[in-house]
Amino acid sequence: MIRRKEFDQNLEELRNLLRAMGDHVQEALKGAIDTLQTSNIAKAEAIIKRDIDLNQMEEQIMEIGSRLIVTQQPVAKDLRRIIVAFKISSDLERMGDLSIDIAKVTLRIEGQELIKPLVDIPRMAELAGIMVEESLQSYLDENTDLAYKMAQDDDEIDHLYSQIIRDLYAFMTANPDNVQQAMLLTLVGRYIERIADHATNIGESAVYLATGQRPDLNN
């Protein structure tokens, strides 16, 4: 039989850790785009270093969740709360890694002048940041409407990504001797697009938590 008081405290801890991981990811993504725009090498390196905190929080979630499963044998929604915590923490950890990949692009460009002013990439990153926030809110409030709305945001992201690819492809065709930076910026678009996909995964987890059903918000 579950000892509710201790169990509920531990579930609350899982929620708090996920909230903290979400904040961390939002900061890392925003910061990484900022370093790209400002060629701020020191800040890019600091973002890469801080990833260890995110990994530690994910491990903590794995530890608390496994312990609860072993000691309390939860069922129904209690079990879903833990399954979802595992799944969301893994999505957030991946999002952290992708933000680092963006910061690494800043390092690789290494202070070169940008081939063009960044417009669509920051817009895409801003939208992805909103999706991260929405995904966490949909989880914390079990707000399925918000989770379903993210499918539309993801379409917008995909649209922006296609536009970035088109622009950079045109640039590479016109400047065949200068493709390296354009390739790196294409990758940045890809990283942001993947971050948004992980945000929709979190939305799916929120719907699963609330209803026990698994929707597909990313098709």
Residues engaged in binding another protein (CB under 8 A):
1-4, 7, 73-80, 211-212
Nearer to another protein, 73 or 162 (CB): 73
Distance from the first to the final alpha carbon of the chain: 41
Supply the minimum distance, in Å, between the C-beta of residue 150 and another protein: 23
Nearer to another protein, 8 or 141 (CB): 8
Across 132-170, b (16+ Cβ under 10 Å) vs e yields bebbbbbbeeebbebbbbbbebbeebeebbeebeebbee
Q: Is 47 strand, coil or helix? A: helix
Residue 201: Cβ within 10 Å count: 21
Supply the minimum distance, in Å, between the C-beta of residue 170 and another protein: 51
Nearer to another protein, 72 or 135 (CB): 72
Across 35-67, b (16+ Cβ under 10 Å) vs e yields bbeebbeebbeebbebbeebeebbebbeebbee
Nearer to another protein, 161 or 208 (CB): 208
Supply the minimum distance, in Å, between the C-beta of residue 47 and another protein: 40
Supply the minimum distance, in Å, between the C-beta of residue 4 and another protein: 6
